[in-house]
Structure 1
Amino acid sequence: MLDIVIEARQAELSAGFTVKRILPYRLRRMIGPFIFMDHGGPVNIPVAQTHNLDVLPHPHIGLSTVSYLFSGNVTHRDSLGVEQVIKPGEVNWMTAGKGITHSERFEDPAMLSGGELEMIQTWVALPEKDEESDPSFENYKSEQLPVFTDTGVWMRLIAGDAYGLKSNVKTHSPLFYVHVVLQPGTRFGLPKGHSERGAYLVRGRVEVNGVTYKPGQLLVFTKGVDPLIIAKEPTTLMMLGGEHLGDRYIWWNFVSSRKDRIEQAKEDWKQGRIDLPPMDSEEYVPLPEDKSKPAGGPPPNALS
């Protein structure tokens, strides 16, 4: 019934900012097209240290980043000239394609007054035909996203299709991504029609087949099964999956079906051949030292 249970590991993005890293995992690199997942927060940080949360300009290729906030605000700036304040409940879908850079800054007055931040960021690998597409960025407001409620259940479809709902968020391959809130005692099932499916516990506890699971665990389900998820207390889940695209190399912020493309991206960033965001070009993240042996190890850093 359960293919694997992945325990989140701690990863430090910057001084004082540690996240839970869920994907990639050595025994399970992807779920459908999802190849990366970080859970940041909830964190309250003193005003003097807010700048420690900032993610400086850095590059991506071959993927889409999906930023989703539960609380707090983040300012996104990218090399397309986009400047967007990301707010809770919105979908921010940035497709890197052949190459993009962006930064994430924590400049909101509420954050600067000691407000709370909690967010999930995933990366979605692109089909081979789209890996060298032109980069793009789209912001979808919360009111543009389908919401379903029933006794003990609230859910928002972030992207794709699930439970009879369909999102208008533009994707490149079949997938689903859902924010689910369950009240104690609620029984809930997985969406049908997708070959690879997982559920990440943000908070609360659930029971599956007599076993109880806790926050920070990603439950990856066996293909073709229809398990019953029972909420043992107020619970928040992020459910995700879709169709597998094939194997991918991943190194730092780069994803590709070709190892040589990763090497090219490394050299392009090192030589300054990837433009910085025009409104945030004074500093950037340098290319990290490559200590990996086989290409495809987990990226050394990133919420994005």
Structure 2
Amino acid sequence: MIEMIIEQRRRGLGGGLEVGRVLPFAKRRMVGPFIFFDHMGPFDIAPGLDRSFDVRPHPHIGLSTVTYLYSGEVMHRDSLGYEQAIRPREVNWMTAGSGITHSERFEHGRIHGDRLHGIQAWVALPTELEEVAPSFTHHAGSDLPQWIDAGVVGQLIAGSAYGLTASAQTHSPLFYAHLDMASGATAEIPDGYKERALYIATGAVELDGTRYESGRMLVLSAGASRVRACEHTTLMVLGGEPIGERFLHWNFVSSSRDRLAQAASDWKAGRMKLPDADDAEFIPLPDEPALAIPRHEGV
């Protein structure tokens, strides 16, 4: 029932901020349209933390960023003029399309102290919508349907699953949900999608008689239908339909290597607008090659 197990790898983002990177992985670059999956924290932010810890303005094309927090607060500012704090069980959904820049700052924690813990995923856009106009939406409350069932508290973040549909506009068939599971509770794994995975953020689960610990993504076969929590567990369930080959360069995603090169050139030359409310600094273009994202590598 499990095609592959992917363990998070610790990656520094500069300024001391470190994440657990899950996707892309050498032998499994994507799950449905999900092309990046970073586990942030948990880590404590002490009052007076230096601003170098923040994620300075940087660009994206060809994808949607999906930020979801279990705890803490992050301030988002972007080149469309949006300024929006995200808090636990809320979603910031930013579609980059033809190009957007944004920053993510820990201003609340710098003043009051904080404990930051969450997930940022990137969803690649289908080819015909890669150059869609950029947009930003914030979702909370009834936008994110919740349910309680036999020791499972669920929240649908995006797409359709569990007989529910979340409010964020998606551009291809997908689902993404947060399950808070009591020890011994079992939960359904949505079907009807070609590719699916579980990510164990905290705790441990049992699938097909085997126990799996936190920090692992389980890429599932068609037969997987239920999962059991071995202890109190925070579980993310996700998947969708494949959208085809993608190339990746830094924060840029595209079906065209030439488009990646153009985006990199635009950023390096200062042709991408910075957020009006955060334009005093930015992250320079790193020197790294574009990566192919084959659909079935290692599967």
Q: TM-score range by the shorter chain?
A: over 0.9
The one-letter code of the counterpart of 1:41 is: G
C-alpha separation in 2, matches of 1:56 and 1:236 = 29
Deviation at 1:7, TM superposition (A): 0.3
Between the aligned partners of 2:291 and 2:38, the Cα distance in structure 1 is: 21
Q: Give the drift of 1:225.
A: 1.1
Q: CA deviation at 1:289?
A: 1.3
Map 1:184-223 onto structure 2 (within 5 A): 184-222=183-221
Contact 2:73-2:114 at 8 Å conserved across structures = no
In structure 2, the residue matched to 1:280 is 278
Give the fraction of aligned pairs with identical amino acids, expressed as a percent: 51
- How big is each residue's C-alpha offset from its partner over 1:274-295, in whole Å with a ceiling of 9 and x where there is no partner? 11111111100010112x3x63
Aligned counterpart, 2:261: 263
Q: Which residue of 2 aligns with 1:300?
A: none
Q: Residue 296 of structure 2 corresponds to which residue in structure 1?
A: none
Any idea what SS the aligned residue of 1:27 has? Answer: coil
Distance 2:263 2:52 in 1: 27
Unaligned runs of 5+ in 2: 294-299
CA displacement at 1:150 relative to structure 2? 1.1
Q: Distance in 2 between matches of 1:100 and 1:200?
A: 28
**Residue 13 (1) aligns with residue 2 (2):** no
Aligned length: 293
Give me the whole-angstrom Cα distance separating, in 1, the residues matched to 2:266 and 2:77.
Answer: 20
Q: State how 1:73-84 maps to structure 2 within 5 Å.
A: 73-84=73-84
Confirm or deny that 1:289 pairs with 2:287: yes
AA of the residue aligned to 2:291: A
Report the secondary structure of 1:4's partner residue. strand
Q: Where does residue 302 of structure 1 map in the other structure? A: none
Contact 1:163–1:192 (CA under 8 A) maintained in structure 2? no
Structure 2: distance between partners of 1:107 and 1:121: 18
**Deviations, residues 51-104 of structure 1 (Å, cap 9, x unaligned):** 243100000000000010111111111000111111111111100000000001
CA–CA distance in 2 between the matches of 1:63 and 1:180?
25
TM-score, normalised to structure 1, is: 0.93
Contact 1:72–1:111, Cα closer than 8 Å, also in 2: no
Specify the code of the residue in structure 2 equivalent to 1:105.
R
AA of the residue aligned to 2:232? P
1:15-164 paired onto structure 2 within 5 Å? 15-108=15-108, 110-164=109-163
Asked if structure 2 preserves the Cα contact closer than 8 Å seen for 1:43 and 1:117, the reply is yes
In the TM superposition, residue 50 of structure 1 has moved relative to its aligned partner by 4.8
Moved more, 30-39 or 189-198: 189-198
Structure 2 distance, partners of 1:142, 1:37, is: 24
- Alignment correspondent of 1:179: 178
Report the 3-state secondary structure (helix = DSSP H, G, I; strand = E; otherwise coil) of the residue aligned with 1:161.
strand
Is the 1:33–1:126 Cα contact (8 Å) retained in structure 2?
yes
Instruction: Classify the secondary structure of the residue corresponding to 1:26.
Output: coil
Match of 1:225?
223
Q: Does residue 258 of structure 2 align to residue 254 of structure 1? A: no
Provide Cα deviations, 1:125-175, integer angstroms capped at 9, x if missing partner: 001111011100001113321101111111000010111111121100000
Query: Cα 1:40–1:164, aligned 2, differ >3 Å: closer, same or farther?
Result: same
Q: Counterpart of 1:142 in structure 2: which amino acid?
A: G
Task: Name the CA distance, whole Å, in 2 between partners of 1:128 and 1:212.
Answer: 38
Alpha-carbon spacing, 1:111–1:148, altered in 2? closer, same or farther (3 Å)? farther
Contact preservation (8 Å) 2:179, 2:235: yes
User: How big is each residue's C-alpha offset from its partner over 1:157-201, in whole Å with a ceiling of 9 and x where there is no partner?
Assistant: 001011111112110000000000111111222101111110100
Offset at 1:112?
Answer: 2.6
Q: 1-side partners of 2:223 and 2:209: how far apart? A: 16
Distance in 2 between residues matched to 1:50 and 1:183, nearest whole Å: 37
Structure 2 contact 48–110 (Cα < 8 Å) conserved: no
The letter for the 2-side match of 1:252 is W
For the 8 Å contact 1:208–1:227, the answer to whether it is kept is no
The 2-side partners of 1:180 and 1:112 are apart by 31
Q: With structure 2 as the length reference, what TM-score do the two structures score?
A: 0.95
Measure the CA separation in 2 of the matches of 1:158 and 1:295: 28
Indicate conservation of the 8 Å contact 1:251/1:296, yes or no. Answer: no
Structure 2 contact 191–225 (Cα < 8 Å) conserved: no
Superposed displacement of residue 18, structure 1: 1.1
Separation of aligned partners in 1, 2:172 and 2:50? 37
CA contact (8 A) 1:73 1:111 kept: no
CA RMSD after TM alignment:
1.3
Q: Is the 8 A contact 1:50 1:106 kept in 2?
A: no
SS at match of 1:48: coil
Q: Which residue of 1 aligns with 2:235?
A: 237
